[in-house]
Amino acid sequence: MQGLTFDIAHLLAGTLVLVSFIELYQDRLTALINVYAAHAIVLTLSVAWQALAQHAPHLYITATIALVFKAAVIPLALRRIVIRLGIHREIETVVGVGPAMLIGIGLVALSMVVMLRVTAEADPLAREDLAFALSVVLLGLLMMVTRRNAVSQVIGFMSLENGLVLAATGAKGMPLVVEISVAFSVLIAFIVIGIFLFRIRERFDTVDIQALDRFRGERR
Amino acid sequence: MALIHDLIFQGGQMLLVLGLAPLLTGFVRKVKARLLRRQGPPLLQPYRDLIRLMRKDVVLAESASWLFRIIPYVVFAGTWVAASLVPTFRSGLLFSWTADLIAIIALLGSARFFLALAGLDVGTAFGGIGSSREMMIASLAEPAMLMIVFAIALIAGSTQLSTMAAFMNSPEVGVRVSLGLGLVALIIVAIAENARVPVDNPATHLELTMVHEAMVLEYSGRHLALIELSSFLKLLLYVSLIACLFMPWGIAPAGVEPVLLIVGIAAYVGKLALSGLLLAAFETAIAKMRVFRVPEFLGAALMLALLATLLRFVSRSF
Amino acid sequence: MVVYALFGVLALVALAPVAIALGASSPATNTVYGASFIVTLALCVIALLALFGHPGPAPAVVLPLGLPWLGAHFRIDALSAFFLVVINLGGAAASLYALGYGRHENFPQRVLPFYPAYLAGMNLVVLAGDAFSFLVSWEFMSLSSWALVISHHEDRENLRAGYVYLLMASFGTLALLLAFGLLAGAGGNYTFEAMRAAHPSAGLAALVLVLALVGAGSKAGVVPLHAWLPLAHPAAPSHVSGLMSGVMTKVAVYGFIRIVFDLLGTPDWWWSLLVLFIGGATAVLGVLYALMQRDLKRVLAYSTIENIGIVFAALGLALAFKASGMTFAAALAFTAALLHVFNHSLFKNLLFCGAGAVLVATGERDMEKLGGLIHRMPQTAFVFLIGATAISALPPLNGFVSEWLTFQAILLSPQLPSWGLKLMVPAVGALLALSAALAGACFVRAFGISFLGRPRSQAAIAAQETDVNSLTAMYFLAALCLVAGILPGLFIDALAPVAQIGVGGHMPVQTGVEWLSIVPIAESRSSYNGLLVFVFVAMSGVLAAFAIHRLASDRLRRSAAWDCGYPDPSPLTQYSAGSFAQPIRRVFGTLLFRAREIGEMPPPSSTRPARLTVNMHDPIWDTLYVPISRFIDYATDRMNVLQFLTIRRYLTLVFVALVLLLLVLAIWP
């Protein structure tokens, strides 16, 4: 039974990494938002499974928050924004898909090496969860770095945050307060950025942040 | 006595794959047609096509060389040998140790190498375009395939297909994320290798997007029949490979127990039918890609396989 | 044994003045190549006897040459014997080939004296038993091959190739010199025995490893020190190109193995990461460069770089296993590397001979002007095809066996103790797999464009089959490729004593395995039987042909090509070498070579042709060599002032230098 518990937790965390890769691969905004919703659903499942495995009912609340906000509310809102802005087919990457994926693979390898060496004596369940969580965080950062469009940077930031939640639930005895605060901070960040987007739109008529650079005279 | 049995089963497997391969293709075509609400050709149409082609004269281009005439036999022989080394309904094939999974893939690579040469032999633009694109696809599909083999072999501790199948059938496999990634990557590679939608379209002619069909455009008569049969065999091989690695249930152990053998054959046919259904449904649902989207598609397979190899290190046993 | 070998080398050296004496007379070619053939064959037999003879400490011969307190040590151990086989087998084949090919040489007096000297130099490197004679022989080999590279000096390109080669060769020798200096230590005992006995500290060992990698690697052509190789190898006459690519790079591998595996002891595991990574990168870059070339011999030279990458990756693997104390796995990887050394020497020699035959028949190296040669030169095409199949690592030929063994060694990587290696080794495996697949594309292109299709030039239409001697040599090499492919067990067993020297262990004996399979680890784990694969494929092919011809139809009609109903008589409508590589260039080259295609369409109603220009940049040349040469230009410009000083100032300089040296002496502890 222990084996199966481990395997499923492992599978879900691995799927989260995989979905992060799909986010990197996607270059259309609406599809990207859908993938982000999938990311959140996998996170929900993973957290719920941890709740079951660790007999920690408070984690169910975290799972519910993830499901409601991250998998439903935020993607729907983002989709509205994208449609309102009329940028749903925008293709906007700094590096090509191939190199970004290669860098991603390298980052996963890096986080494996780091985590597995540092946490050699830890509980295996927490250990592999941490390795995956670090990968998800790094992939989220990578996405923020390699995308020009503000909306996809927001998505990168939120999947980074999903990685943090995964790490938090993997470690036993994490208090719930932190969960809620993390979730709310993201929501607030999202609102702020959402408003910010509209302001950019009004001012410069684009959400490509390269336009900001141009405005400041940094490029060209 | 046991040797004679093994010999019989090895021979039986060779004939079985040869006999079933056109049926699988016919089945996929039929299901696809039905999904599009067409009647579709009868299930046995591929056999009739093969027989018809074999009886026809070969019309050979004037600029074709001796190599062009040999290649269909080489391609057919390579594919057939590879296909008969993959366990189908019974494990413990007599010659299974002749070639492990890496060698089987390389054998298919040999077949493709020669087929690409055939595309260049007559000296036409279509043949060249087919060969050139086929090699581009192969240059990504082959490493992806080898990485998949690595990922699975690192878990199973062997590249020998019978050992791998036995391991996959044992309870210690469990649910592993590496295997899941490997399966997805393997399906992508299988689609590309068999020139199916969305990488290539087996049903088109006279289109600039075609790859495999362009390469064999100059073939006719019995040569074409052999090339077609090889591609049927290749599809069967990949389906058998996926079945043997990821659906290893029901494969009869080495022995002559009639009940187990019947179960094995039934399970094999069932797996083929299921895979055929899924393939047809997938092909119907998706559109063909531009040629230069294919590298990204296959690159994703390569990445998945690499990821599978990496993630293998965070699994239980290590 | 070593005495006989030295006599053989002496005979080769003596042949050089004979060649000078004979000059450009007509019997010169036959004499020199005939004698070289006999001597190298004899040396090959001696080396085989030494390899299969009784193992044990090899007695050294000390000649009173070179440094007075050192003498010149020569000996044959299993490692030297194996490389002697590689050198002299290649030398014999090249000499036999040159009996035919050499007749087409315009100025034989420029090639003949250096050819036997070059063979002698390579033999001496392997025989040398101390650092001094090793380096002298190494330089001798470099200089004689340099003379061969510039033998066609009418061509400016060849002169430039010779210049770059000379620079890189000196640089490599310098690195080796430093490596030996560090190994010998302050005591300065330059015999290999003394170096083996001394155990350098970890930091020193790492430095020696890097220097050996630079020194031997620059001769072998590892990226980024490969720049001279694709210039120099094709510039030489074809049989020499074959020797340079197939054999001299192997002598460089010998140098690396001798220093790192034999003399150095066991360095830390993380240095193997460097070798592994460089090997993998060399393999992929080499074959990608090869795919972008249109000169047939240059394609082959770049593919040499790829194969050297495979060898170095396998050696890095062996180093990793050795440092982790896994003798068995190290033996597997080491044997794979050596087998690939042997295999590559066979098929690369064969392919260069084939390219030489094409060059003689058509006067062309440019693939865009060839085509359809299979009709005019069927036998050359056949052997070239065997070489191309073998080098693409396809079963049942020999290239596949060594790649397969390498992959088996890679699959042992989870047992490595360090995490870095565990994750790095499969990544290198991916690079090797990529390079193998690209090599297939590269040789479909090389063979398909040159030999298949319709002739693209008048020269290709008028081509004639090459002579008997050349064909014999090529058939001999092709037969060896097949034998080594279907009976690999024999070759693996022969390598056991060599692996014993390199990593202190060897693979299990293969000759006893049923059905002549090879089983590197255990039968439940992996096995491969080249013979049966060959027999099965041949049988099913023949069976299918027989059945179809008997039961169905065997009639055949000739007619114009179909080509979807639009056949065009102009051979220019075929796919060319450039267009064949286009998809791969777009997939890989956009990033690596910054390849850009500029299509220029004429405006409507204009009759100008459309133009396609492709711009490519060599990343290594641009980022490494250009800055270095700029810096040297700059530095020499500054130094130029020194040429125009007064005598008083020159004296001042000498004086200051003297005082500085004295100061150093005073401060030195």
> In this predicted model, what pLDDT tens digit does every residue of B131-155 receive, in sequence order?
999 999 999 999 999 999 999 998 8
Q: Is the pLDDT of residue C196 over 90?
A: no
- The pLDDT value recorded for residue C552 is 86
Task: Return the number of CB contacts < 8 Å for A and C.
Answer: 12
| Beta strands at C556-559 and B58-61: parallel, antiparallel or unpaired | parallel
Q: What is the dihedral of CA C180, C181, C182, C187, to 10 degrees?
A: 120
Point out which residues pair with A147 in neighbouring strands: A93
What number of other Cβ atoms are within 10 A of residue A164's Cβ?
17
Rounded to the nearest integer, the mean pLDDT of chain B is 88
CA–CA separation, C194 vs C188, rounded Å? 9
- The pLDDT value recorded for residue B272 is 94
Which residue of chain B comes nearest to C410, CA vs CA?
B150
- The pLDDT value recorded for residue A219 is 46
- The pLDDT value recorded for residue A203 is 52
**Interface with chain C: mutation pick from B3, B63, B142, highest number of C CBs within 10 Å:** B63
Q: With contact defined as beta carbons under 8 Å apart, do C441 and C291 qualify? A: yes
**Mean local confidence (pLDDT), C546-561:** 90
- The pLDDT value recorded for residue A53 is 81
Grade residue B207 by pLDDT with cuts at 50, 70 and 90.
low
CA–CA separation, C340 vs C345, rounded Å? 8
Q: What is the pLDDT of residues C362-386, one digit of tens each?
A: 998 999 999 899 999 999 999 999 9
Q: What is the pLDDT of residues A47-99, one digit of tens each?
A: 888 888 878 777 787 788 778 878 888 888 778 777 777 666 666 666 777 78
CA–CA separation, B129 vs C295, rounded Å? 21
CA–CA separation, C592 vs B230, rounded Å? 36
**Mean local confidence (pLDDT), C107-123:** 91
Least confident range from B243-247, C65-69, C411-415, C454-458: namely C65-69
The answer to whether C423 contacts chain A (CB < 8 Å) is: yes
- The pLDDT value recorded for residue A124 is 63
Grade residue A1 by pLDDT with cuts at 50, 70 and 90.
very low
Degrees to nearest 5, angle at CA C85 with C307 and C428: 25
What is the residue type of C150?
Answer: I
Q: Which chains touch B (3 or more CB pairs under 8 A)?
A: A, C
- The pLDDT value recorded for residue B317 is 44
Asked if the Cβ–Cβ distance from A98 to B315 is below 8 Å, we say no
Greatest mean pLDDT among A153-162, B169-178, C185-194, C280-289: C280-289
Asked if the Cβ–Cβ distance from B307 to A21 is below 8 Å, we say yes
What number of other Cβ atoms are within 10 A of residue B164's Cβ?
23
Q: Is the pLDDT of residue A184 over 70?
A: no
Tell the burial category of C366 from Cβ atoms under 10 Å away from its Cβ (0-12, 13-18, 19+): middle
Asked if the Cβ–Cβ distance from A99 to C591 is below 8 Å, we say yes
> A112 to chain C: which residues are within 8 Å by CB?
419, 423
Map A39-85 to HEC letters: HHHHHHHHHHHHHHHHCCCHHHHHHHHHHHHHHHHHHHHHHHHHHHH
Q: Shortest Cα distance from B296 to chain C (angstroms)?
A: 9
CA–CA separation, C297 vs C364, rounded Å? 10
Please count the residues of chain B: 318
Of B294, B244, B308, B259, give the one whose Cα is nearest residue B86.
B244
Q: How far apart are the first and last CA of chain A?
A: 61
Considering CB atoms only, which of A96, A98, A113 is closest to C423?
A: A113
The answer to whether A105 contacts chain B (CB < 8 Å) is: yes
The answer to whether C660 contacts chain A (CB < 8 Å) is: no
Q: With contact defined as beta carbons under 8 Å apart, do B245 and B178 qualify? A: no
The answer to whether C411 contacts chain B (CB < 8 Å) is: yes
Asked if the Cβ–Cβ distance from C525 to B128 is below 8 Å, we say no
What is each CA distance from A132 to A16, A44, B239, C660, in whole angstroms?
8, 15, 32, 60
Q: What is the pLDDT of residues C386-436, one digit of tens each?
A: 999 999 999 889 999 999 999 999 999 888 888 788 888 988 999 999 999
Q: How far apart are the first and last CA of chain B?
A: 43
Asked if the Cβ–Cβ distance from C536 to B306 is below 8 Å, we say no
CA–CA separation, A54 vs A47, rounded Å? 10
> C591 to chain A: which residues are within 8 Å by CB?
96, 98-99
**Interface with chain A: mutation pick from B150, B172, B173, B177, highest number of A CBs within 10 Å:** B177
CA–CA separation, C530 vs C485, rounded Å? 6
Q: Shortest Cα distance from A210 to chain C (angstroms)?
A: 23
**Mean local confidence (pLDDT), C631-643:** 88
Percentage of chain B lying above the pLDDT 70 cut = 95
CA–CA separation, C577 vs C554, rounded Å? 35
The structure's pTM equals 0.91
Grade residue A196 by pLDDT with cuts at 50, 70 and 90.
low
CA–CA separation, B231 vs B250, rounded Å? 27
- The pLDDT value recorded for residue A216 is 61
Asked if the Cβ–Cβ distance from A105 to B303 is below 8 Å, we say yes
| Residue partners of C71: CB distance under 8 A and separation at least 6 | C62, C63, C64, C65, C130
- The pLDDT value recorded for residue A220 is 43
- The pLDDT value recorded for residue A175 is 63
Angle between helices A74-85 and A176-204 (to 10 degrees): 0
Q: Shortest Cα distance from A116 to chain C (angstroms)?
A: 8
CA–CA separation, B215 vs B136, rounded Å? 13
Q: What is the pLDDT of residues C30-79, one digit of tens each?
A: 889 999 999 999 999 999 998 887 666 667 888 888 777 778 889 888 99
CA–CA separation, B97 vs B160, rounded Å? 7
Domain ranges of chain B: 2-314
Q: Report how many helices (DSSP H) and strands (DSSP E) chain C contains, helices first.
A: 29, 5
The answer to whether A114 contacts chain C (CB < 8 Å) is: no
Alpha helices in chain B (DSSP H): 2-35, 45-55, 66-84, 101-121, 125-156, 161-169, 177-193, 212-215, 221-246, 258-285, 294-311
Q: Is the pLDDT of residue C271 over 70?
A: yes
> B133 to chain C: which residues are within 8 Å by CB?
583
Peptide bond into C27 cis (omega under 30): no
Which residue of chain B comes nearest to A97, CA vs CA?
B296
Element (H, E) at C219: helix C202-220
Considering CB atoms only, which of B174, B299, B307 is closest to A98?
A: B299
Position with higher pLDDT, C235 vs C58: C235
- The pLDDT value recorded for residue A119 is 67
Q: Is the pLDDT of residue B316 over 60?
A: no
Point out which residues pair with C63 in neighbouring strands: C72
Task: Return the number of CB contacts < 8 Å for B and C.
Answer: 285
Position with higher pLDDT, B7 vs C228: C228
- The pLDDT value recorded for residue A76 is 85
Considering CB atoms only, which of B106, B117, B140 is closest to C444?
A: B117
Two tokens, residue C251: 């002598």
Q: Is the pLDDT of residue C145 over 90?
A: yes
- The pLDDT value recorded for residue A210 is 64
Grade residue A215 by pLDDT with cuts at 50, 70 and 90.
low
